[in-house]
Amino acid sequence: MIRYRFFALLLGAAALSACDKNAVQDITGPLPAARVRFFNFGVNAPSVNFYANDTKMTATNSGTGVEATTGVSYGGVGSGGLYAGVDPGQYTFSGRIAATTDKDLPISNLTATLEDGKKYSVYQSGFYNTTAKTVDAFIVEDPFPDEFDYSVAYVRFVNAISNSQPMTMYITEPTSGNVITVGGPVAYKAAGAFTAVPPATYNLATRYTDSTTNKISRTGVGFGAGRIYTITARGDITITSTTATNRPFLDNTVNR
């Protein structure tokens, strides 16, 4: 009796697998060949969800499985800093209000063309206009080195502070005092080149051209071997408080 039941189960499994509805699905195929990620660095900007055309690229789930109204808040990066895959082509990227009030109102709009095999970062930046309910935005390519040395870290600097002059970033290894210049002067909405540095913990500082005075500083930032990092300046360059939310700040986000 047990043997007959066993064969009956096998026959039933075979019948189910033969049905199109239950057959194993082939999900192989080319993945989207461009990559993009999103930052909300617009000073005083509300939390947003980011879109590529009308496709939502970032969102926050609540405990009930329903999308939360928190979105990506100021100083945040969507999807934990991970890239989203999209097909190459032209897109209008927008940050749309996540809160119930003015829900899905676009506060930033940026048109850009993404190329096959390339990675990009989209930033909301500048200062949020509470009357017009708009904020600035820009995009930079994230060009990883073609020949990757896993014994070093790669670091670059992006300037997302609209009321700053071009700045150069310097990193200092505290024990040795060794100072490394990471690229050259970087203007607002621009990115410097990735620079190879020895893996270590560094103190960071940015300065205006031909100045020895630090405009922004941050201590104890670790760069690991085989990793790639983007340091982005955000905030209001005129703020001198060390605790204000909109103070100038150096954000550290891992590219890979």
How far CA 134 is from CA of 44, 108, 159, in Å, comes to 11, 6, 20
The average pLDDT across 199-226 equals 96
List the one residue out of 202, 201, 229 whose CA is nearest residue 217.
202
pLDDT reported for residue 61: 66
Compute the mean pLDDT over every residue in the chain, rounded to the nearest whole number.
89
Dist. CA 155–CA 252, nearest whole Å: 10
Dist. CA 74–CA 236, nearest whole Å: 13
Q: Do domains 31-142 and 145-256 have the same CATH topology?
A: yes
What residue spans define the domains of the chain? 31-142, 145-256
- Strand 153-159 vs strand 228-234: parallel, antiparallel, or unpaired? parallel
**What percent of the chain shows pLDDT beyond 70?**
86
| Structure tokens belonging to residue 238 | 């005129």
State yes or no: pLDDT of 12 exceeds 60: no
Dist. CA 254–CA 51, nearest whole Å: 22
What sign for the dihedral angle of Cα 145, 149, 150, 151?
negative
Which band of pLDDT confidence, cut at 50, 70 and 90, is reported for residue 30? low
Q: Classify 113 as helix, strand or coil.
A: strand
Q: Convert the pLDDT of each residue in 85-103 to its tens digit.
A: 999 999 999 999 999 999 9
Dist. CA 71–CA 194, nearest whole Å: 30
As a CATH number, domain 31-142 is: 2.60.40
Which band of pLDDT confidence, cut at 50, 70 and 90, is reported for residue 70? confident
Buried b (16+ CB within 10 A) or exposed e, 139-152: bbebeeeeeeeeeb
Which band of pLDDT confidence, cut at 50, 70 and 90, is reported for residue 18? very low
Q: Convert the pLDDT of each residue in 33-68 to its tens digit.
A: 899 999 999 999 999 999 999 999 997 766 676 777
Q: Convert the pLDDT of each residue in 145-197 to its tens digit.
A: 777 899 999 999 999 999 999 999 999 999 999 999 999 999 999 999 999 99
Indicate the class that CATH gives domain 145-256: mainly beta
